[in-house]
Amino acid sequence: MDASCLSTSISRFNPTSFEGTGEPKLLDNWHREMESVLEVVQCPPEMMVEQAAFYLRDEAGVWWHNEREGARVYYGNLGQHAIPWAGFKWAMRDHFVPEHTRHKLRAEFDSFSMADDMSVIEYYHRFIELSRYAEDMQLSQRILALSFERGLTVKIRERYQLG
C-alpha cells in the first residue's frame, strides 16, 4: 500500500492529534490510539512514524520538524532505513514528559497504596496509570501483581487472604 492510500485509511479513523502539552497520560493515550489505528490498517513498520507524525500539532509538530532529520541520520547510521516506532515513542516521552516528572510518577508508583475512601476500581485505574512510568524498571507481571496487592487496604488483603 502506498503512503497516500495508507494516509486515507488512517484518516477514516479520525485519530486524535497530539499537541505536545497537558498531562503525561495524554501522550500515552495518543501512542496507544495511534498504535491501534496503525495496526488495524496494517501499516508497515517502516511507515508507522511517518504516518503518525502527520497527527502531531503545535509544539509537538514543531518538535518533530526539528528532530526528524537528526533521527533519520541516527537510525541510518545504525543501518535502519526508517525510524522505528519504539524509538519515536521513546524520543517523544523523553521530550514531552520531562525526567523530573517521570521520576515523580515512578516515586508515586513505588509508594502508591489504596486510600480508605477509594474503590478498588479507582485504585486499579490509578495503579495502571502510574505503572506506565515504572516500565523502565522492567517489572514482570508477577511483580506488578504483588505491588498491586501490597497497595490494597489491610481490610481487603485480609478479606481475600492476600499476603
Same domain, 84 and 143: no
Helix, strand, or coil (residue 56) = strand
- HEC secondary structure over 64-127: HHHHHHHHHHHHHHCCCCCCCHHHHHHHHHHHHCCHHHHHHHHHHHHHCCCCCCCCHHHHHHHH
Same domain, 21 and 90: yes
pLDDT of residue 136: 58
Reply yes or no on whether the pLDDT at 133 is more than 80.
no
Note the pLDDT tens digit of each residue in 6-59.
899 999 999 999 999 988 889 989 999 999 999 999 999 999 999 999 999 999
pLDDT of residue 139: 63
Q: How many CB atoms lie within 10 A of CB 121?
A: 8
Helix, strand, or coil (residue 55) = coil
Same domain, 37 and 71: yes
Same domain, 148 and 92: no
Same domain, 18 and 53: yes
Same domain, 16 and 71: yes
Cβ(45)–Cβ(84) under 8 Å?
yes
Residue with cell 495518543: 30
- Which contacts of 62-70 are long-range, i.e. CB under 8 A and separated by 24 or more positions? 62/20, 63/20, 63/95, 63/96, 67/91, 67/95
pLDDT of residue 82: 86
Same domain, 123 and 65: no
Note the pLDDT tens digit of each residue in 102-129.
888 888 888 888 888 888 899 999 888 8
Dihedral sign, CA of 127, 132, 135, 136? negative
User: Which domain does 80 fall in, by range?
Assistant: 3-96
Instruction: Give the end of a domain, one of 96, 113, 144.
Output: 96
Structural domains counted in the chain: 2
Same domain, 8 and 31: yes
